[in-house]
């Protein structure tokens, strides 16, 4: 059989050589093989050029402009170079410490309340069969409500006095009334609850999609081994969702540090600056005081802090995410 194949190949080569005119070169096929990848690379690069130009114009160029703006004292009519003076004035502002502490407190509360809720809800939805679709839609409804509308809705629910919605329900069991957004101790937790309600739908859908991709054989094997519901969640579900959990945790961490809309609309930073966040301070520098250099300096400091925080998070969870 091998001899037959060799004889056919030899015969084909002989026929090909016989059809090739004397003196003809075999170089053109080799040249076509080299030119084809180069043409493909040029075509791919041509497709990427508009994307790179658009990304550079709308993403990288503003970053460069912000670097320059942080070194200037400007009202966009007259500009003076002041070097690092803007950074020094930001660090000397006593309100910066308040904003940082409020942002850290909001982030910790948001992670404490907002991180387990979507995960537990996704596990619950995963156990549903016929009602999983409608329940998923209901869980996602808060996300499609415009943020300002959602904040104004919750602001009306937090109305102080016995006539407020929450105070009315609590009054049925003899609790309250509370001032909610006007109370220095309750304003920040009230904002955290609203922000968690507005954003948990997206994380729930992502967790649910990852949960449904877990091979059912793992659960069947766990059931055969006598594992209960909690043991299946702990030993099967959570390890399978580990990469998704880490990514969403990082995104939630970065998103909560940049909280702005909720405190701006609900409390305006009050009472007594107890809900003043870093982004609200940036807004006050730029659009209340007209100090754009100072606002840009604080923005760069926040971006650097978030970059360092993200790098530390990725380094600290790298081994866990690969396990």
Q: What is the mean pLDDT of the chain?
A: 84
How far, in Å, CA of 276 to CA of 298, rounded? 14
For residue 12, the model assigns a pLDDT of 45
- Residue 8 predicted with pLDDT over 60: no
Spatial contact of 119 and 245, defined as CB atoms under 8 Å apart? yes
Q: Does residue 17 have a pLDDT over 60? A: no
Please state the φ and ψ torsions of residue 260, each to the nearest 5 degrees. -145, -55
- How far CA 309 is from CA of 66, 258, 261, 302, in Å, comes to 21, 13, 23, 10
pLDDT at residue 88 is higher than 90: yes
Which is nearest to 95 in space by CA: 294, 304, 307?
294
Q: How confident is the model at residue 277 (pLDDT cuts 50, 70, 90)?
A: very high
Residue 105 has pLDDT above 90, yes or no: yes
Section 62-84 average pLDDT: 85
pLDDT at 215 over 50: yes
pLDDT computed for residue 29 by the predictor: 53
> Could you tell me which of 237, 185, 198 has the C-alpha nearest to residue 114?
198
Report whether pLDDT(14) > 60. Answer: no
Under DSSP, the state recorded for 234 is I
């Amino acid at each position: 059989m091998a001899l037959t194949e060799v004889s056919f190949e030899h015969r084909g080569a002989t026929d090909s050589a016989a059809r090739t005119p004397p003196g003809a070169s075999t170089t053109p096929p080799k040249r076509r093989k080299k030119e084809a990848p180069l043409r493909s690379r040029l075509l791919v690069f041509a497709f990427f050029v508009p994307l790179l130009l658009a990304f550079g114009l709308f993403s990288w160029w503003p970053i460069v402009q912000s670097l320059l703006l942080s070194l200037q004292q400007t009202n966009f009519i007259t500009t003076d170079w002041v070097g690092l003076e803007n950074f020094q004035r930001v660090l000397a502002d006593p309100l910066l410490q308040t904003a940082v502490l409020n942002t850290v407190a909001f982030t910790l509360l948001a992670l404490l309340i907002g991180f387990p809720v979507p995960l537990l809800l996704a596990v619950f939805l995963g156990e549903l069969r016929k009602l999983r679709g409608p329940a998923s839609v209901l869980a996602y409804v808060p996300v499609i409500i415009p943020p300002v509308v959602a904040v104004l809705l919750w602001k009306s629910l937090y109305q102080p006095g016995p006539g407020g919605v929450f105070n009315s329900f609590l009054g049925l069991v003899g609790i309250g009334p509370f001032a909610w957004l006007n109370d220095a101790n309750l304003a920040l937790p009230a904002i955290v609850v609203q922000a968690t309600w507005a954003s948990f739908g997206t994380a729930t859908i992502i967790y649910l999609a990852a949960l449904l991709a877990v091979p059912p054989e793992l659960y069947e094997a766990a059931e055969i081994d006598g594992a209960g519901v909690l043991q299946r969640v702990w030993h099967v579900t959570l390890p399978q969702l580990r990469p998704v959990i880490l990514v969403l945790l990082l995104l939630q961490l970065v998103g909560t540090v940049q909280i702005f809309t909720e405190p701006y609309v609900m409390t305006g930073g009050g009472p007594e600056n107890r809900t003043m966040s870093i982004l609200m301070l940036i807004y006050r520098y730029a659009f209340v005081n007209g100090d754009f250099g100072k606002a840009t300096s604080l923005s760069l400091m926040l971006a650097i802090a978030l970059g360092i925080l993200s790098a530390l998070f990725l380094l600290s969870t790298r081994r866990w995410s690969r396990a």
